[in-house]
Amino acid sequence: RTEPSAPGDFAVVLDLDPLERLGDAAVYFRDLPYAVIDHHIPQEMGGEIRLVDTDAAATALILTLVLHEAGERFTPDLATCLYTGIVTDTGSFRFRNTSPEALSGASYLLECGDFVGVSENVFQSRQLASARLLGRLLETMQLEREGRFAWGAISQDDFAWAGAKDEDTEGFVNELLSIDTVQVAAILRENDEKVRCSIRSRGVVDVAEAVRVFGGGGHRNAAGCSFPLPLGEAAALLTGRLAELLP
């Protein structure tokens, strides 16, 4: 990260709530008026301009509709980026949030962009270190509540063993949720400063509401939170809370 070379006039925050999740990027937003464009259930109500639609499948879909209404020219690069955002947030149009608007927006973008390899690069490509780490997670995962709750923890030692980084865990939690009996899945990842958690669920199980007590949030079936605690303590808190969802 580098410090901004000059102060800005206005900032835009996309697909993010609460703002504390800006992390190292917060320096770029310091003391600036800002707009929020998002589809998460709000935890904060900041921003001089707020464009929040919790029914939208993706923030990229909101941007597509706004830019289209504004008469923006969709270059191939712009269309490809927006299409990628819709594809990832809908799980390649597999998740429950896949709406007619998401499909029609993606259809419009397909007319403007170059999408060869998007799904392959996002969903069908994994570094060797990531594959090794996933193998360890699957080997050590825990099943509780008669197989309806699956969770796993990835320690700093695990990352070092696999030669992997936190970004290499993308999609891991969905591998746990893919087990046919599982209704709630979670992974915890340990780094130098905190433990980051990704949680997924099926059907009416609201994991976003469950983790708000920890300062987390997201959507009913996809949420996240973090803990400034050792991995074992964080795991005990999170798994205890999530297990309550499945009596």
pLDDT at residue 3, as a whole number: 61
CA 150/CA 245 separation, integer angstroms: 13
pLDDT at residue 224, as a whole number: 93
pLDDT at residue 67, as a whole number: 95
Q: What is the DSSP string of 49-107?
A: EEEE-TTSS-HHHHHHHHHHHTT----HHHHHHHHHHHHHHTTTTTSTT--HHHHHHHH
CA 39/CA 102 separation, integer angstroms: 13
pLDDT at residue 68, as a whole number: 94
Going by C-alpha positions, the residue among 207, 198, 122, 119 that lies closest to residue 166 is 198
pLDDT at residue 4, as a whole number: 61
Per-residue pLDDT of the chain (247 residues; tens, 9 = 90+): 556 666 678 989 999 876 777 777 777 777 889 899 999 877 777 888 999 999 999 999 999 999 999 999 999 999 999 999 999 999 889 888 899 999 999 999 999 877 877 877 887 788 999 999 999 999 999 999 999 999 999 999 999 999 999 999 999 999 999 999 999 999 999 998 899 999 999 989 999 999 999 999 888 899 999 999 999 999 999 999 999 999 8
Over the stretch 203-239, which tens digit does the pLDDT of each residue have?
899 999 999 999 998 888 999 999 999 999 999 999 9
pLDDT at residue 85, as a whole number: 94
- How far is CA 151 from each of CA 129, 165, 199, 201, rounded to the nearest angstrom? 20, 19, 9, 12
pLDDT at residue 122, as a whole number: 80
Going by C-alpha positions, the residue among 102, 55, 99 that lies closest to residue 83 is 102
